[in-house]
Structure 1
Amino acid sequence: MCRDYLRPGLLIFASIAIGVVGWSGHVLLLPVALGFPVLWSIAGTRSVAALVSAGYFLAASRGLPRGVAAFYSSDFWPGLLLWLCASMSFVAVHSVLWTKNPNVRPFRYLLAAIIMSIPPFGITGWAHPVTAAGVLFPGWGWWGLWLMTAGLAGLATRIWPAVAITLIGLWLWSAASWTEPGLPNGWRGVDLELGASLGRDTGLHRQRDLIATVRGAASDGAGFVVLPETALGFWTPTVARLWTSASADIDATAIAGATVLDATGYDNVLVAIDRKGGSSILYRERMPVPGSMWQPWRSWFGESGGARADFFANPVVPIGAGRAAPLICYEQLIVWPVLQSMLHDPDFIIAVGNGWWTDGTSIVAIQRAATTAWARLFAKPLVTAFNT
């Protein structure tokens, strides 16, 4: 009887360990997540496959309960509930598609991986093992993505040990020669440590401090300066006038996060303020955080509010002499926004976030690791700006 429980118990424990290590926030550890399809394929029963999937996903997203509690200034229980609810789609897809037939199993896993990459299930498709493609196949672009996809399917076959040895060899080779993505020429990302006050303290003093930050970066030779998500707070005519008047003596274009509010809701955006005194909304977030920001159920009851999801709009934006692929916060944790942007072959990636609420978790580190991996896969320069 003990043997009946020992093997499933070991598989579940291994899936938790893979989720913790693979999604620890260190980019070179992302390939550890490739152990999940192996455990899923050898689960033995559908119920064990469901438990393995739950263990992996919950471990990978372990920072969510604490982060939600900090964001809403509440106790631990709402975050715990959201954490469990968010795992349901991942567990459901992988348990439904599991099969005892070893000949069909790799195709079922491949289908699960695709489903968790695109909406609607891809909306909560965190911790996707395909993200490790940037570590194993840096610079290979779409060919690297296809090889990684084939590798994931191979890990769900009977010859998974041979596939795993091959992937481990690629991992070691990549780690030995690893280099971080470079910055685009003339660009500078500014990390801030202003905590919860960023975006909430929108007084004149804070705006002047941010303008001074941009001016300082410009004096060091930066032609484009990126500030974190929601750095400017609400983008109002008053804030726009302040920044456009100040930009007259700044020899740089500022790219900063802001919120555009109207009667029906709001947009999480990036605003560009150029050195000629002009300003415009550069980018509207395609996928805000479900639940806390994006609340589509409000419209079902005739209510307004919540962030708008632009889904497949503006995957790349023109800025300066190039084209950028912006990713705001949550978009860095899922697959389809970055792949949609890469279909348009941008010149570089801009990744911003406001992660003050993630203090004590690995969420911001995971965002950085994921965007770094994607940038390396497609050989794109990367500029980042985070607030913690």
Structure 2
Amino acid sequence: MRPDYLRPTILIFTSIIIGAVAWSGHVLLLPVALGFPVLWSVTRTRSVAALVSAGYFLAASRGLPQGVAAFYASDLWPGLLLWLCASLSFVAVHAVLWTKNTSVRPFRYLLAAAVMAIPPFGITGWAHPITAAGVLFPEWGWRGLGFMTAGLAGLVTRRWPAVAITLGGFWLWSAAIWTDPKLPEGWRGVDLEMGASLGREAGLQRQRDLNATVHDAASNGARFVVLPESALGFWTPTVQRLWKENLSESGLTVVAGAVVVDSHGYDNVLVLTDQEGGRLLYRERMPVPGSMWQPWRSLSGTSGGARAQFFANSVVAVGAGRTAPLICYEQLIVWPVLESMLHDPDFVVAVGNGWWTEGTSIVAIQRAATTAWAKLFAKPLVLSFNT
């Protein structure tokens, strides 16, 4: 191998390792992602910067092809195509904003980070290194996010070794004292193992089984119980009445995933139900692009697909508290949680239905990212997933 090929090969291979390790689903490994801006900055050509970006992103999202194949009960090709298409925005942004000019490089990288954090590019802004802020600066809130931003800028300068050593010190300190976010008082999140049947098998017996699960979860004194995404299936007046009757005189409040359908499409939602009845609590701001959110349908005059609410209902009231809800895909990107934190909620509720991710680390990554954000802002956290 010629020497001038060796350096790019090492950088690309290292970026793949960084993406795979940082996004393995272990929250304390998230700071490994900070190696990506260093590699991006030390590349000598735009093409190598693009390949380094591709290596990092594709490794971080490596579970997507297998997950898509399971979701659609097909072979790997549709998943591979979606995997590659999703990487294009990340690679394009980092390639276009790469520069040889060391004096402006920090501003270029911060611009790339900002672009990948907010729509439209932020819609596929997975694996964002800034997620590690919750590990390096737990409970520092917006101040910690500011320090993380400054650290990212420092990592793309010539002084990156000193910056990396400093951030590494914070990482070691945090790992030594780390504790997961607490549950809010009186709350309980339920994890289910019902596979693809959850939300699809909506018969009376399934609703009764879920109700029994809720009462079992409340046996330790919980007053609020959270069920995963899509748990109740279609939210209809019949389902609403059934849960009202089942919760009669129990004093329990259930927050659960469901789907609301009309002639134009559907909303992926959280509903709240108790002995007084039920109401729609939250509409998902960012459904999964492609498989759920299909904006091209409206352009072509056809109906269907999930609606994206974007910046709506970022904080909702439950009981005497205010919660930041995050459904599934919203846990993988940056702007939904930051938008919610602008309103200073009392706690975070994160749900998902990850039956299709079996054999991948996607659900573990969702849990890790949400845990990091809750820890950064010192917010109690309720998690509920189906696998």
Q: What TM-score bracket applies, with the shorter chain setting the length?
A: over 0.9
**Which residue matches 1:220?**
220
Provide Cα deviations, 1:228-283, integer angstroms capped at 9, x if missing partner.
00000001111111111111032210000000000000000000002x33210010
Amino acid corresponding to residue 285 of structure 2 in structure 1: R
In 2, Cα distance between the equivalents of 1:349 and 1:318?
A: 12
Give the equivalent residue in structure 2 for 1:105: 105
Give the partner amino acid of 1:102. Answer: T
**Residue in 2 that maps onto 1:153:** 153
Q: 1:117 aligns to what?
A: 117
Say if 2:379 is the partner of 1:380.
yes
Distance apart, 1:22 and its partner CA: 0.3
Residues of 2 paired with 1:187 and 1:197: CA distance?
26
**Letter matched to residue 235 of structure 2:** W
Check the 8 A contact 2:273/2:279 in 1, yes or no. Answer: yes
1: CA distance, partners of 2:258 / 2:183: 23
Summarize deviations over 1:72-130 as a string: whole Å, max 9, x none: 00110000000000000000000000001011111100000000000000000000000
Partner Cα distance (1:162, 1:215) in 2: 54
What does residue range 272-291 of structure 1 map to in structure 2 within 5 Å? 272-274=272-274, 276-291=275-290
- Displacement of 1:205 after TM fit? 0.8
Q: How many residues are paired up? A: 387
Q: Equivalent residue for 1:318?
A: 317
Distance 1:269 1:218 in 2: 23
C-alpha distance in structure 2 between counterparts of 1:300 and 1:327, whole Å = 28
Residue 3 of structure 1 is matched in structure 2 by 3
- Whether the 8 Å contact between 1:286 and 1:310 is mirrored in structure 2 is yes
The aligned residue for residue 337 of structure 2 is: 338
User: Deviation per CA, 1:170-218, whole angstroms, max 9, x where unpaired?
Assistant: 0000000000000000000000000001011111111000011111222
Q: Which amino acid aligns with 1:292?
A: S
Separation (CA, whole Å) in 2 of partners of 1:79 and 1:219 = 42
Q: CA deviation at 1:220?
A: 2.1
For residues 140-176 of structure 1, give each alpha carbon's deviation from its aligned partner in whole angstroms, at most 9, with x where no partner exists: 0000001000100100000000000000010000000
What is the CA-CA distance between 1:53 and the residue it aligns to?
0.1
* Amino acid of the structure 1 residue aligned with 2:211: I
How far apart in 2 are the matches of 1:378 and 1:218?
A: 27
Aligned Cα root-mean-square deviation (Å): 0.7
Deviations 1:280-336 (A, max 9, x none): 001000000000000000011100000000000000000011000000000000000
- Pairs within 5 Å for 1:44-59: 44-59=44-59
Equivalent position amino acid for 1:144 in 2:
G
- Deviation, 1:219, is 2.7
> What corresponds to 1:164 in structure 2?
164
Report the Cα distance in structure 2 between the residues aligned to 1:198 and 1:128, rounded to whole angstroms: 30
CA distance in 1, matches of 2:159, 2:208: 61
Query: 1: distance between equivalents of 2:99 and 2:186?
Result: 52
1:218–1:251 contact (8 Å) kept in structure 2: no
Whether 1:306 and 2:277 are equivalent positions in the alignment is no
Residue 47 of structure 1 deviates from its aligned partner by 0.1
Q: What residue identity is the alignment partner of 1:159? A: R
Looking at structure 1, the residues matched to 135 and 240 of structure 2 have their Cα atoms a distance apart, in angstroms, of 41
Structure 1 counterpart of 2:252: 252
Contact 1:286–1:311 (CA under 8 A) maintained in structure 2: yes
State how far apart, in whole Å, the 2-side matches of 1:216 and 1:164 are.
Answer: 48
Tell me which residue corresponds to 2:327: 328
Please state whether the residue corresponding to 1:248 is helix, strand or coil.
Answer: coil
Secondary structure at 1:312 match in 2: coil
**Contact 2:240/2:277, CA 8 A, preserved across alignment:** no
Other structure's SS at 1:249 match: coil
AA aligned to 1:67 is G
Cα distance in 1 for residues equivalent to 2:311 and 2:83? 26
Separation of aligned partners in 1, 2:272 and 2:32: 38
The CA distance in 2 between the partners of 1:217 and 1:111, in whole Å, is 45
The equivalent residue for 2:370 is: 371
Give runs of aligned pairs for residues 202-241 of structure 1, distance below 5 A: 202-241=202-241
| Displaced runs of 4 or more, over 6 A | none
Output one character per residue of 1:361-385: Cα deviation in whole Å (capped at 9) or x when no partner: 0000000000000000000000000
Single out whichever of 209-218 and 156-165 deviates more from structure 2: 209-218
SS of the residue corresponding to residue 247 of structure 2 reads helix
Residue 267 of structure 2: aligned partner: 267
SS of the equivalent of 2:98 reads coil
The whole-number CA distance in structure 1 between the counterparts of 2:218 and 2:181 is: 22
Separation of aligned partners in 2, 1:153 and 1:250: 53
Take 2:165 and 2:337, find their aligned partners in 1: how far apart are those partners? 29
TM-score scaled by structure 1? 0.99
Q: Unaligned stretches of 5+ in structure 2?
A: none
SS of residue matched to 1:291: coil
Conservation of the 8 A alpha-carbon contact between 1:218 and 1:250 = no
Q: Which residue of 2 aligns with 1:294?
A: 293
